[in-house]
Structure 1
Amino acid sequence: MTRRRLISTAALGSAVQAQDTAWQNPVRVSLKAGKPVVAATITVPSADVAAQAARLGFDLLWIEMEHSAITLESARNMILATRGLPAVPFIRVPYNEIWLAKRALDIGALGVIFPFTTTPEKAKAAVEACKYPPYGKRGSGPGLATLRWPAPEGYADFIDRNVMVVCIIEEKEAVDRIDEIAAVPGIDVLFIGTNDLSHSYGFRGRQDEPAVQNAIREIVAAAKKNNIPVGRPGNAANIPGLIKEGFSFFQAGSELALYADGARPVLDVLGKKAAGSKDRPLY
């Protein structure tokens, strides 16, 4: 009896130790530790660009499938190209639908970013789309994801433990129901789509309007109340101030924007400048 108890205790200890030493999503680890994370936004269907971004120091790749020409096949190749590199792949799907999340996860995404999460029902659907039963409604057929993440524990247990659900709040209706949305279990990040939010309030990109700023504060407060990290787009100039306001998940500019930023000093030295809208015919 004593020997059996000792064996059981040893087995339990080994299981706990294995769980403690298992690989964990570094984005979640950083956020839980109170450290900010930043995403490289990828909008061009290029495995080379994705791989380069994944090694630069970004915490994650924001593979943009809502506002770009990136196809599922291109995204798959980009995810394969980042294997062994530090940044982990997240995909923003075009819409909050279970089949879109399923396909993103099946090609190896470790996080799904859901646009227009306007109601608690949509937030719940987003969480369920990313989890296998009994925790969610994701169908089984991961394919390539099992090769991208060859976990000893098996893919289903690995991904349910590591997948991250990012819900974007970008409409007035979502702000009106933000306390209900933030209370949905399983949301890992509430991300504020500041530009679309300003449009929803009728200000067409004017994010400094008091109504928009008040809405942003409401979202941050709801996230804080429910212990959910909150994010928004950020750059070198505003990130330090945003961290003080409670933000910890940042979307950096796209590779095209960063390319332009890098090219500008070289062109300035030579007295050259980019063509503006006034320099080109409208049609």
Structure 2
Amino acid sequence: MNLPENRFKRALRENKQQIGLWCSLPGSYAAEIVAPSGFDWLLFDTEHSPGDVLTVLPQLQAVAAYEVSAIVRPASNDAVLIKRYLDIGAQTLLIPYVQNREEAEAAVSAMRYPPTGIRGVSGLTRATRFGRIASYAKRAEEELCLLVQLETQAALSELEAIAAVDGVDGVFIGPADLAASLGHPGEPGHPEVVAAVEDAICRLSALGKPAGILTPDAAFAARCIELGTTFTAVGIDAGLLARGTEALAAKFRQS
């Protein structure tokens, strides 16, 4: 059995724009509903949602039949969590709150088997198709993709050093935490925050490193794409559900 190709990783290398949806609802049913909607990637979040390894597994299973790439965000830059998500078949991880080169290197190490990393080895995981991919331990790194999230002023000051780490495939800018770090909590649209995000995207573009962002603001999403983001999340499932149902209820209450 062959090692599954990571379409998302290939697209980043080819500089193809990938439009994504953030998924904070932990159910596999919701994941399957949005899987065929036309997005290039779905992010299954476990940092700011009730999700965990046991909820992500059925989400991965639910979307496997569709032409959409699955990305998982662990709750933290933790080698044990990273190992568990890789073992259940996640090929692309977004690691939150990476502050410097050393933390980026730790994430890379957790993604790789020895002798170049520290990932624990098991031959009977979903990732290995339960032992059916004989070359998995030797070739896994080819199809694994590591994205790191920069979300503070301190992290942005280390952007070039983080982006240069071997094994970091892309850098995601987190506007919400960055806003708080810059003294504007709850205001990702503040001019200072917008300027910092745009500057980070431009710096990553100059380095030739794929840049990513999450923004439900369509105009700002278009601006980020113009500046050079190549993986751009344009909505959040819970937000779409909340705002959509509010709008529907309001429409009929006014009639």
Corresponding residue of 1:255: 237
Structure 1 residue 216, shift from structure 2 partner: 2.2
TM-score by length of 2: 0.88
Equivalent residue, structure 1, for 2:228: 246
Q: Residue type of the partner of 1:65?
A: T
Contact 1:80 1:148 in 2 (8 A): no
Q: Rg: which structure is higher?
A: 1
**Counterparts in 2 of 1:141-180, with a 5 A limit?**
141=122, 143-147=125-129, 151=133, 154-180=135-161
Offset at residue 132 of structure 1 (A): 1.7
1:163 and 1:150 mapped to 2: Cα distance? 18
- 1:232 equivalent in structure 2: 213
CA contact (8 A) 1:128 1:135 kept: yes
Please tell me the residue identity of whatever aligns with 1:202.
Answer: G
Deviation at 1:71, TM superposition (A): 2.4
* Partners of 2:225 and 2:232 within 8 A in 1: no
Q: Structure 2: which amino acid aligns with 1:121?
A: E
What is residue 18 of structure 2 aligned with on the other side?
A: 37
Report the 3-state secondary structure (helix = DSSP H, G, I; strand = E; otherwise coil) of the residue aligned with 1:165.
Answer: strand
| Counterpart residue identity of residue 169, structure 1 | L
Normalised TM-score (structure 1): 0.80
Contact 2:198 2:224 in 1 (8 A): no
Q: CA deviation at 1:264?
A: 5.1
CA distance in 2, matches of 1:169, 1:23: 29
User: Partner residue of 2:95?
Assistant: 114
Which of 193, 198, 204 aligns to 1:212? It is 193
- Once the two structures are aligned, what percentage of the paired residues are identical? 28
SS in 2 for 1:146: coil
Contact 1:166 1:187 in 2 (8 A): yes
Whether the 8 Å CA contact 2:72–2:93 is kept in 1: the answer is yes
SS at match of 1:198: helix
Is residue 73 of structure 1 aligned with residue 93 of structure 2?
no
Q: Which has the higher contact order (CA 8 A, sep 6+)?
A: 2
Residue by residue over 1:23-72, the C-alpha shift from the partner in whole angstroms, topping out at 9 and shown as x without a partner, is 53111222222221122222122111112222222222211100111121
Distance in 2 between the 1:159 and 1:149 partners?
Answer: 13
Q: What is the RMSD of the two structures over their aligned residues, measured on CA atoms?
A: 2.5
Q: Measure the CA separation in 1 of the matches of 2:109 and 2:138.
A: 15
Q: Which amino acid aligns with 1:117?
A: V
List per-residue Cα deviations over 1:57-103 (Å, max 9, x = no partner). 22222111001111211111111222222112211111111111111
8 Å contact 1:175–1:218 — kept in the other structure? no
Counterpart Cα distance in 1 of 2:47 and 2:30: 18
Inter-partner Cα distance in structure 2 for 1:269 and 1:217:
36
The Cα shift of 1:208 comes to: 4.1
CA–CA separation in structure 2 for the residues paired with 1:203 and 1:77:
37
Which letter does structure 2 place at the counterpart of 1:52?
I
**Structure 2 unmatched ranges of 5 or more:** none
1:216-271: CA deviation from partner (whole Å, max 9, x where unpaired): 24422432233211011134343222211111211232212222344455445423
Could you tell me which runs of 5 or more consecutive residues in structure 1 were left unpaired when the two chains were aligned: 1-18, 274-283
Q: Secondary structure at the match of 1:161?
A: helix
Alignment match of 1:136 (pick from 117, 141, 144): 117
